[in-house]
Amino acid sequence: MSQAQLAGPDLSDSYVSLIESGKRTPTPVVARLLAERLGCTTEFLLHGIEPRQRIDTELGLRHAELELYHGDPAVAADRFSDIVKAAGEDNALLAAHARLGRARALEAQGRTGRAVEAYERLRREAAAHPERLADLPLAVALCRCYNKAGDVLRARNLGAYALSQVERLGLVRGETAVELALALVETGTGLPYVEQVMAATGTPAPSGHNAESLELWRASVTAAEGEDSALAVQLADDALAAGRAGRMAVRHARIAMHWAMITASDVQATDLDRANELAESASTVFADLTAHVEEHALSLVVLSHVRIRLGEADSAVRLADQALDLLAGSPGITAARAHLVLAEVALARSEDAAPTLRRARDLLEGHPDAHDRETARTWRMLGDLWGQAGSVEEQAGAYRKALEAVGVQVTIPGSTAATVLTH
């Protein structure tokens, strides 16, 4: 069919040519007219897929999001990949959203390097096609990922860029503001903005909507199996909306926990009562969520550090023991930090802290592949406490491990090592 035949008596050849070249978007009336002459549906003409295929793809996208938030991130990543293939380039908006979901799923699995690559590609796509993706959430995600990967300078630069954008918008509420506040507090920057977000959103509170979200998700799957796609999409939307309060509560709790952590580690900090309140609220939120046992334990450890600063040693010991009970002997930095709390209290009481410090060391060595700033910080804390306990050799070894955790290999013979690493 030639352009003249397709245009017919209603349209000009040049207008059809502009539509074909992507320089014009047909109005709904023109789209229906062209679809009739081409013998296809308007939906297929505009999006490259038929209505049933489109709604099934939309449903798949929502179920993948639910899998990401309330299920298995690895399964979510596979589902997002399937949607990218199904949507194709003819449905660029759906494909872009699915690629964003896949990047988030990679991040949720702890595959930070792969997530960074995906987010960077999406950011280039956002620059070329701002109608598909927004740049700001991608900058926030990259800030978060680069910080996890140990590239603090790049993380802080991205955080500063994102902060300039939200300040221009006057944005202190909503998911983007909260995610940025969390990324900033994790990098230890932009703390005045973090305070604004915390003041606007209030103290985090537990949310009991997770069960409702799961129930709606199951109902959506059942509706889809009965080929009632429209109802399945509606139920999936309801499930995502029901789970939003819980997701926001978790983000708020993470902000509160990191804020308390920063305050407890600052010897000049005076707002310890506020830190105590925030750490308690974070612990309450995580205690309500069975999928966040590790973060619940970490919040208890943070709270125990605050209690030490407040002079409440017995409370700090009790909280550290609770954290260890939650972790049930699993290795890692959270369990190690709980033992460091016990060791710090023992040293303050002039008791033998060596057995507890050795246990912390063993827990850290049980995760030999852990190379990040948090692992390095924990090794450094262990070294400091070994120094207080009077073991120079153990102190030097812990400091060396701290440097290795961030990719610095150190070989310093003899007793000089302790002095150099201490400084």
Is the per-residue pLDDT at 250 higher than 80?
Answer: yes
30-48: pLDDT as tens digits: 888 888 877 777 767 776 6
Structure tokens belonging to residue 74 = 């690895």
Give the model's pLDDT for residue 264.
87
Contact in structure between 262 and 302 (CB atoms under 8 Å) = no
In the predicted model, what is the mean pLDDT of residues 332-342? 92
In the predicted model, what is the mean pLDDT of residues 279-302? 88
Q: What percent of the chain has pLDDT over 70?
A: 91
Q: What percent of the chain has pLDDT over 90?
A: 51
Give the model's pLDDT for residue 36.
80
Domains in the chain: boundaries:
3-43, 48-132, 329-423
User: Which residues have C-beta within 8 Å of that of residue 358, sequence separation ≥ 6?
Assistant: none
47-93: pLDDT as tens digits: 665 556 677 788 889 999 999 998 899 999 999 999 888 876 667 88
Is the per-residue pLDDT at 117 higher than 60?
Answer: yes
Give the model's pLDDT for residue 415.
42
In the predicted model, what is the mean pLDDT of residues 291-320? 92
Distance CA 127, CA 138 (A): 11
Give the model's pLDDT for residue 368.
58
Distance CA 401, CA 404 (A): 5
Give the model's pLDDT for residue 3.
81
| Residue 66: count of CB within 10 angstroms of its CB | 23
The CATH code of the domain at 329-423 is: 1.25.40
Distance CA 106, CA 117 (A): 10
Is the per-residue pLDDT at 292 higher than 90?
Answer: no
Burial 274-288 (b: 16+ CB within 10 A, else e): bbbebbbbbbbbbbb
Lowest-confidence region among 135-144, 197-206, 393-402, 414-423: 414-423
Distance CA 5, CA 37 (A): 9
Structure tokens belonging to residue 197 = 């977000």
In the predicted model, what is the mean pLDDT of residues 343-350? 93
Is the per-residue pLDDT at 416 higher than 50?
Answer: no
Distance CA 61, CA 368 (A): 37
Per residue, the 3-state secondary structure of the chain, as one string, reads: CCHHHHHCCCCCHHHHHHHHCCCCCCCHHHHHHHHHHHCCCHHHHHHCCCHHHHHHHHHHHHHHHHHHHHCCHHHHHHHHHHHHHHHCHHHHHHHHHHHHHHHHHHHHCCCHHHHHHHHHHHHHHHHHCCCCCCHHHHHHHHHHHHHHHCCHHHHHHHHHHHHHHHHHHCCCCHHHHHHHHHHHHHHCCCHHHHHHHHHHHCCCCCCCCHHHHHHHHHHHHHHHHCCCHHHHHHHHHHHHHHHHHHHHHHHHHHHHHHHHHHHHHCCCCCCHHHHHHHHHHHHHHHHCCHHHHHHHHHHHHHHHHHHHHCCCHHHHHHHHHHHHHHHCCCCCHHHHHHHHHHHHHHHHCCCCCHHHHHHHHHHHHCCCCCCCHHHHHHHHHHHHHHHHHCCHHHHHHHHHHHHHHCCCCCCCCCCHHHHHHHC
Q: Indicate the average pLDDT of the chain.
A: 86
176-208: pLDDT as tens digits: 999 999 999 999 899 999 999 999 887 777 666
Lowest-confidence region among 333-342, 347-356, 404-413: 404-413
pTM: 0.78
Give the model's pLDDT for residue 52.
60
215-230: pLDDT as tens digits: 999 999 999 888 888 8
Counting beta carbons within 10 angstroms of the beta carbon of residue 92, is it exposed (0 to 12), middle (13 to 18) or buried (19 or more)? middle
Residues shown for the chain: 423
Is the per-residue pLDDT at 419 higher than 50?
Answer: no
Give the model's pLDDT for residue 420.
41
Is the per-residue pLDDT at 370 higher than 60?
Answer: no
Structure tokens belonging to residue 103 = 């990047």
| Sequence letter at residue 294 | E
Nearest to 299 by CA among 342, 346, 250, 364: 250
Is the per-residue pLDDT at 328 higher than 60?
Answer: yes
